[in-house]
Amino acid sequence: MSKDKADIKNPVNPPSVMIVDDEEIVLTSLQSLLRLDTDYRVVTFRSPVEALAELQKHPVDAVISDFLMPQMNGLQFLAEVKRLYPSVPRILLTGYADKGNAINAINEVGLYQYIEKPWDNDHIKLVLRNSLATKSLEETLQQKLRELDEVLRHRDALATREGMLRQELDLARQVQQNLLPRRLPEANGLRIAAKYEPVLEIGGDYYDIQELDESRLGILVADATGHGIQAALSTALLKFAFSTLIKSGQSLPEIVTGMNEILGRGLPENSFVAAIVAILDKRQKSVEIINAGLPHPLIWRRAATTVERVAANGLFLGIDLPLSYCASEATTVSLGPGDRLLLYSDGLSEVPGRDGRFFGDATMIEEIERHAATPLEQLLDWLLQSSREFCDGSQEPDDTTIVAIETI
C-alpha cells in the first residue's frame, strides 16, 4: 500500500497521535495503518490511566480513544484530556451499541468526532488529517490573536507616550509664544512691524524688541538650530542672553560677544544661533547692526526708489571656537523719510524655486520695489506669501521671521 502523501504534514516534526484501547488487536491494527500510510508519530496505551500519566509529561497532537475500557471509560478519559489540553482533537471509537451514549456525551467532552467500530481505514485517516489541520489552524489563529493583542498594547503605549509628548510640546509652545513681544513699541516718526511663522508648533526662529531708553530700541532676529522642545529651550536661553546684555550699556560688539559666551555655555553640542542684533536710535533715525550669520538686511530707499543690501557679516553665535569669539564691527545705517529696513531669517529668502533659482535677495528686491506703496504690514504679508508660492515643494519650508522698520 502506498503512502497517502496528503497525510504527511511535517516530515521533520511529524504530528503525534495517541491511541488508547484495551483491545490489543485494535491498537496493533490502527498503529500499523498509521505508520504505513502516514508519517504520524503513534503512541498506544491499553490503560487510560497510564495514557493520562504519559500525557501529563508529553503532550500529543490528537487522541483516539475507545469508549468501553476498565478503570475509566472513553468519555471520562477524553474529559481529562480536554482539561489538560483543550486544543487537542479528541476522537472516540465506539461500538454500534454505544452510539447513543456517545452522541449524548459529545458536548460534555467536546469531541472532534466519533467513529464506529469496525472503522473504515480511509475514513479514520481523513478524520485524523482534518482534526490535525483544524488544530493547526486554531493554533495559528491563537498566535495571530496574541500578536494582535501585542500590537494593540504597543499602539496603546505609543498613544499614551504621544499624548504625553504632545502635552509637553504644547507647554513648550506656550513658553515660546510668551517669550515673543506681546506688542510692538510705538515710536514717533517710525513704524515697526514683525511677522513670525514657525513651520511646526515650535520653531527655531525668534525675535525680540526691547526698549533701552527713551530714544533707543534693541532688536533681535534669530534662527536657532532645531525645532521642537530643543528650539523652545534655545529660545529661552536666547531671550535671557539678549535681555540681559542689550540693556547693559556695553557697545554692540561687546553685547554680541557676551551673548555668544552665554549661548556657548548653554546650547546643546553642535547647536548654534544665527542672529542679527541691532540698536535703533529713534531720534537719529539710524540703526546699528551686527549680523551673525543671517541674510543681509535690505533697505528700501524711497528717495532713490532703490533697494540697498546692508553688507554686514559675522560668525554664528554659540559655536565652539579654538580662539576667543570676537564680534564683527557694527554697521550703522541711516534711514531717510519713507525708507524701510528689513531684518529677516533665511526661511524667507533661501527658498528653492521651480526654475532652480532661490527666492533670494534679487527676488525680494523686486518684490519690495514692486510693492513700495503697499503699507508696511501688508508688505510683510506679501513677502511671506510670495516666498511660499515661489517654493517648488521639494523641501520643507523653514521658519520665517521678519522685523521691519519704516520712517514716516
Q: Which residues contact 104 (CB under 8 A, 6 or more apart)?
A: none
pLDDT score for 326: 67
The residue among 62 and 111 whose pLDDT is bigger is 62
pLDDT tens profile 74-84? 989 999 999 99
- Using DSSP, state whether 4 is helix, strand or coil: coil
Prediction pTM value: 0.64
Q: How far apart are CA 405 and CA 207, in angstroms?
A: 14
Query: At 403, which helix (H) or strand (E)?
Result: strand 400-407
Q: pLDDT by residue (tens digit) across 342-359?
A: 999 988 888 777 777 778
pLDDT given at position 172: 81
- Distance of CA 340 to CAs 181, 210, 327, Å? 21, 20, 26
pLDDT surpassing 60 at residue 296: yes
pLDDT band, very low/low/confident/very high, at 406 (cuts 50, 70, 90): very high
Residue 371 has pLDDT above 80, yes or no: yes
Q: In this model, does residue 374 exceed pLDDT 70? A: yes
Higher pLDDT, 120 or 313: 120
The pLDDT, as a whole number, for residue 322 is: 54
Rounded Cα–Cα distance for residues 233 and 68 (Å): 81
User: Percent of the chain at pLDDT above 90?
Assistant: 58
Q: Which three cell numbers stand for residue 302?
A: 524711497
Q: What is the pLDDT of residue 4?
A: 45
Beta strand extents in 70-215 (DSSP E only): 90-94, 113-116, 190-197, 205-211
Cell of 406: 519704516
Nearest to 127 by CA among 136, 117, 114: 114
Bridge partners, residue 403, by sequence: 194, 343
pLDDT value at 11 more than 60 = no
Mean pLDDT of 109-138: 91
Lowest mean pLDDT among 46-60, 141-155, 171-185, 303-317: 171-185
**Torsion angles phi and psi, residue 322, rounded to 5:** -65, -30
